[in-house]
Every structure is written in structure tokens, then in C-alpha cells.
Amino acid sequence: MLAQEHSQPQLIVLHLMGSHPQACDRTQGKYETFVQSKETSCYLYTMTQTDDLLRKLYDQLRNSGSSFSLVYFSDHGLAFKERGKDVQYLAHDDKYQQNFQVPFMVISSDDKAHRVIKARRSANDFLGFFSQWTGIKAKEINIKYPFISEKKAGSIYITNFQLQKVDYNHLGTDIFDPKP
């Protein structure tokens, strides 16, 4: 697909299923460093595999000679279960801020500098980002702020598993310490 010439911009969506529970099934039990439990170690290894895949994809895009913009994000975070035990593992949850803190990055062929934005963002504003990123406009998309900026987004609300709107700041924390 990258080798073909295109007269119009292309949107390519690649859905990854890498870093999810039962991580040892995904890595065939392989991991580089033991961290607290085998499942946690395998999970961390799936993250290095995702990093490697993204590096290869970036190299292919860069080597294509075409201009590009790549967005990577995760749809959810995970929480520790059976914390501190040999069977410790990660699973979906909605009780902690970390369940909603996910990677989000934009890499473009014309980037001049690396920039880390600390301002909190919400998936509820993703369509606004998508509109700003692609230039696609629709009257139904309400853009509240420049997504790629340090401008505050206002109050962040999440939708919990009971489909209730919850203030992000009212969620607990589940900090990961690799050496408890």
C-alpha cells in the first residue's frame, strides 16, 4: 500500500491487539525482565513488541518519501489484580485514574522537534482531535480547544462500566511500583 502512488490523501487504520490481558499467551510465555509476576513481565514485554512494530512502521513511512502523519493511542488502561502475589495480573477496570491514562502520540514527516504535552485529554474529545488532525469538518463536531496544545480541556469525565458519568478526579489511584 505504501509503495503505490496516491493522488489523494490516504487514511490507513491499523488496529493492534498487543498489550492486553493473558499477555503470556501473546508472547508464548516470553519476557525480557521478571517484574513481580510472570503475567506482569509478559505484559511489559508486549509493550516492547508494540514499540518495535511502531518503529518499523515509522521507518517504512519515512522511507516511502511521502509526507505522513501517524497517530498511536490506546483505548483503555488496565489495573492490577491480585497485587503483590505470584499470580498478579492486569485486567480492565474503571475504578482508577490509571485505567484511563493511555499513550497518545502523533508523529509526522515534517516534525522538527519532540514535544511532550502534559495537559489532560479525554477520549470524549477524540472527534475534535480527528477533525483538527485531518481537516475534516462537520457541524456535529464541537471543538472546545486545540487538542494538541497545553490548553486545559476543562473537567474530564469518564463513563464507568455501569454507563455512569464520573468525574475523573474522583477516581482512586493505582500507582505501579516495579520494586514493591
**How do residues 108-134 score in pLDDT, each as one tens digit?**
999 999 999 999 999 999 999 999 999
Query: Given this model, what pLDDT does residue 88 score?
Result: 82
Helix, strand, coil distribution of the chain in percent, nearest 5? 30, 15, 60
Instruction: Give the span between the Cα atoms of 43 and 35, in whole angstroms.
Output: 10
Query: Given this model, what pLDDT does residue 86 score?
Result: 83
**Full-model pTM:** 0.84
